[in-house]
Amino acid sequence: MWCGVITLFPEMLAALQYGITGKAIKKQLLNVVCWNPRDFTQDKHNTVDDNPYGGGAGMVMMAPSLCAAIAAARQTAPQPPTVIYLSPQGKSFQQKTAEILLEKKALILLAGRYEGIDERVISQQVDEEWSIGDYVLSGGELAAMVMIDVITRLIPGTVGDEDSITQESLTSGLLKYPQYTRPEDFQGARVPDVLLSGNHAAIARWRLKQALGRTWLKRPDLLAKKPLSNQELELLMEFVAEQTEIDRGTDNE
Ligand code: 9D3
């Protein structure tokens, strides 16, 4: 995966050197290259922003240096890249989006600052516009890093443990089951017996039931989207029945 990032703050992308993305870079499964529009300015003050025509608050990133940076990135890309503008106006970036973008192999991610970028850059250079959620960031860099992180985890060979990938696919679209590690007893709170039983079928069944139950409790919106098999429905009904007993047992009504 090749990612060219257009940013006024290339140092921010150093965060990708850590953890799974860091490993992917070392293994050359991921290549992140930054271009700073400031390096493509012509004036002596290296101006990258200016006031909006028509007036109003804030500054707008200027087209000439932005487009020169994009042109430089295009020249370095190993294949014709998809140019993505990270913006609050974009479509909502989801796991499915990452799967599709992974197939593109070469992306240019345009991170804006200030109030945004000159509209002509969008109409002339941008293929797709993505947002990472309905909240206000200070700029596109964190959004670009979020996208790169999510996409990188989908590159074969990056998320080391093949077992956890298989497990994840079995419970896809669900929240994670509860996890425990040593000690067996922490301040009187014990690890569920089934996890100590060594009965792998019983453990798998318990985990799927917990994953279904937690999703029902905490993210019913996810469950509504997921078609359930008969076994999954049965496990969920068991969980709901047990949950109802627990609710009755407490004195909160
Ligand atoms: C308060 C400023 N807003 C005035 C109506 C507009 C605005 C401009 C620039 C809001 C945020 C930003 C900077 N945000 C991004 O560059 C951004 C972003 C985001 O803020 N939320 C979710 N996804 C993204 S992707 C890029």
Segments making up each domain of the chain, as ranges: 2-152, 167-252
Q: What is the 109 CA–ligand 1 centroid distance (Å)?
A: 15
Q: What is the 112 CA–ligand 1 centroid distance (Å)?
A: 8
CATH 1.10.1270.20 corresponds to the domain 167-252: yes
Closest approach atom of ligand 1 to CA 115: 8
- Write down the pTM of the prediction: 0.95
| The predicted structure's pLDDT at residue 225 | 92
**Residue 60 Ramachandran class (φ > 0 left, ψ -120 to 50 alpha, else beta):** beta
Is the peptide bond between 183 and the residue preceding it cis, with omega within 30 degrees of 0?
Answer: yes
pLDDT, one tens digit per residue, over 72-90 is: 999 999 999 999 999 999 9
pLDDT, one tens digit per residue, over 175-222 is: 999 999 999 999 999 999 999 999 999 999 999 999 999 999 999 999
Q: What is the 129 CA–ligand 1 centroid distance (Å)?
A: 12
- Same fold: 2-152 with 167-252: no
Q: Could you tell me how far CA 232 lies from the centroid of its own chain?
A: 27
DSSP structure class, residue 117: B
| The predicted structure's pLDDT at residue 24 | 98
Instruction: Give the 3-state secondary structure of residue 69.
Output: helix
pLDDT, one tens digit per residue, over 156-184 is: 999 977 667 766 776 789 999 999 999 99
Classify domain 2-152 at the CATH topology level: Alpha/beta knot (3.40.1280)
- In the structure, which protein residues have their CB atom closer than 6 angstroms to any atom of ligand 1? 86-88, 112, 115-116, 131-133, 135-137, 139-140, 143
